Every structure is written in structure tokens, then in C-alpha cells.
Structure 1
Amino acid sequence: MRGHHVAVRTPDLQAALDFYVGTLDFRVVAKWDYADEQLAYVSPATDDHFYVEILGGGDPQPQEVRTYTDLGSSLGWAGYHHFCLNVDSVEATVETLRTRGVTIVAEPFVLEAISRKLAFFCDPFGNLIELAEVLA
């Protein structure tokens, strides 16, 4: 087995596309309808093997957006927590995201146990996204 995609549920496909495509520079791979929903696969510009499936439309419940002030506050919720994107430089990516108005939830830090530098941010719907840089 190997990973293919993660799905993110949102009431507004266009708002999600604005963020993933407009802010993160993802590209739209496919769009389709299912019942009262509009869906899309988006992927990072340099990755043909990982997708975020955006499930938009309909009337998903609840529609509260979780806001995290730090990584620790996010750990109080059971179930899905985040998905991870590998980057060449966590520091440079965080700075680019800041210039695009993205709030960083966890500033870059090193996790020696897995030889990675990490940082976290949220999409507009409160879904956590991890950035990971492999360390030498």
C-alpha cells in the first residue's frame, strides 16, 4: 500500500480552491460533481503522486471552524489531526506563507527522533497542515 490522497470537507469548494491553488500554489487535477457536492483533486505543483480531495457544497455539519493558537491546543481533539507536505526548506516556506496571509500555528522546530524540521498551519476551514523538511 501507499498513500494517494487526503480528503478535506468544506461547504465552499471555491473558497478551498482559492486557498489551495491561490495561496499554496497547488494545481487542479480534476473536478467533478457527486449528488449535491462539488469535488476536486488538487496537488502540489511538483508532486504527481499526492492529492488533496476537496469535498465542497452540500450542507456539512458542524460548520464551526477550529482555530488553534498553538500545536498543543490541537491535540485535544480525537480523530483526524493533519496531513503533511514535504518541503525543501521549512523556514523559507513559512516566510512565503506569512507574506500570503497564512497564520502559522507552530513555528519551525526540530524533531530529532525523526530527523525533521517541522511547522504547522491551517487552511481557512481549520484543517491542520504540517510542513516537513528532511534533515541531514
Structure 2
Amino acid sequence: MAQDFRFHHLAIIARSYEETVSWYCKHFGFAVAQEWSAPDMLPGARMCYLRKGDFHMEIIGDGEKAGEHAVAADPKQEYQITGYRHFALEVDDVDAAVAALAADGVPAFFPPTDLDIVGVRAALVRDPDGNAVELIQWR
């Protein structure tokens, strides 16, 4: 029997649990669905699932870390680094979403741009640890 693979969550390792959880809840409307710790796996860390609709994010924060992850210096470099680069949130109006986030202190590092090859308008912002979040609007 073939397996049916369904998306469950993505995980972010955060320097500050409180700051990261607060940022995603404030700017994108996520809510904490469940919190826990796993002292045998990562002493001192706090963990949670954030949820918005059917979309879940796992935030793992505080505790000991081995180092920082690579953050691209500019948007073009963002696509030249191997590995996870961003996740996307669909919006009705990218320009309005970027303006609202900028007014709230979250500037776009890749401004609203038409990507005609895929029929979208998109922009990128960064969370407190430099992780990219794409805002995407179908045209």
C-alpha cells in the first residue's frame, strides 16, 4: 500500500524562545497550540507548536546551541546557499502586507517583485534569527 505523505510542520531553532514565539504570533497571527520541554535531548530548551489554520511550526528555543546558521547578505545570495531557505505565507496583497510589516518594524529584505515566470508577486522578510519568510500573492 502506498503511503500518503502529508505536511505536518517545519521546525526553527531559535536563540530566544520568547522572542521568536512572540514575533510569529504578533506579525502573522500564529497561536501556541502546545508547549513542552525535552531535557534529555536539549537541556534548558523550551519547545512549542505554533498553529495558524492547518499550518504548524515547531519553535525550539533557549538551551545550548552549537552555533549560528548562515544568513545570506542579499536576496540573490539567499538562493545560492544549499539547504532550507524560507517558507511562504500566501497573502491577498503582498504590497499591503509588506507595508503593514514595515510599519511594525519588520522591513522586507527582498521588496515586492513580480515573478512572471511563475505568475506571482513575492517579497521576503526575516524573523529575529534571520530566517526568511516569503510573502506570496498569486496574480
Instruction: Please give the TM-score of this superposition, normalised by the length of structure 1.
Output: 0.87
Secondary structure, in 3 states, of the residue corresponding to 1:125?
A: coil
Residues 31-90 of structure 1: CA deviation (Å, up to 9, x unaligned): 11112221111133xxx211111011211221367363x311222321111111111111
Unpaired runs of 5+ in structure 1?
none
2:81 equivalent in structure 1:
77
Is the 2:98–2:107 contact (alpha carbons within 8 Å) kept by the matching residues of 1? Answer: no
1:55 equivalent in structure 2:
60
AA partner of residue 94 (structure 2): V
Work out the CA distance in 2 between the residues paired with 1:15 and 1:65: 20
Work out the CA distance in 2 between the residues paired with 1:77 and 1:65: 8
2:47 equivalent in structure 1:
39
Secondary structure, in 3 states, of the residue corresponding to 1:61?
A: coil
Q: Which has the larger radius of gyration?
A: 2
Unpaired runs of 5+ in structure 2?
none
Say yes or no: does 1:115 pair with 2:98: no
Task: Name the % identity.
Answer: 28
Q: Give the counterpart of 1:7 among 6, 11, 32.
A: 11
Instruction: Please give the TM-score of this superposition, normalised by the length of structure 2.
Output: 0.85
Q: Give the counterpart of 2:105 among 98, 101, 108.
A: 101
Q: RMSD of aligned C-alpha atoms?
A: 1.7
AA partner of residue 60 (structure 1): K
**How much has 1:12 moved relative to structure 2?**
1.5
2:96 equivalent in structure 1:
92
1:66 equivalent in structure 2:
71
Secondary structure, in 3 states, of the residue corresponding to 1:20?
A: helix
Work out the CA distance in 1 between the residues paired with 2:34 and 2:51: 10
AA partner of residue 55 (structure 2): F
Secondary structure, in 3 states, of the residue corresponding to 1:88?
A: coil
Secondary structure, in 3 states, of the residue corresponding to 1:34?
A: coil
1:30 equivalent in structure 2:
34
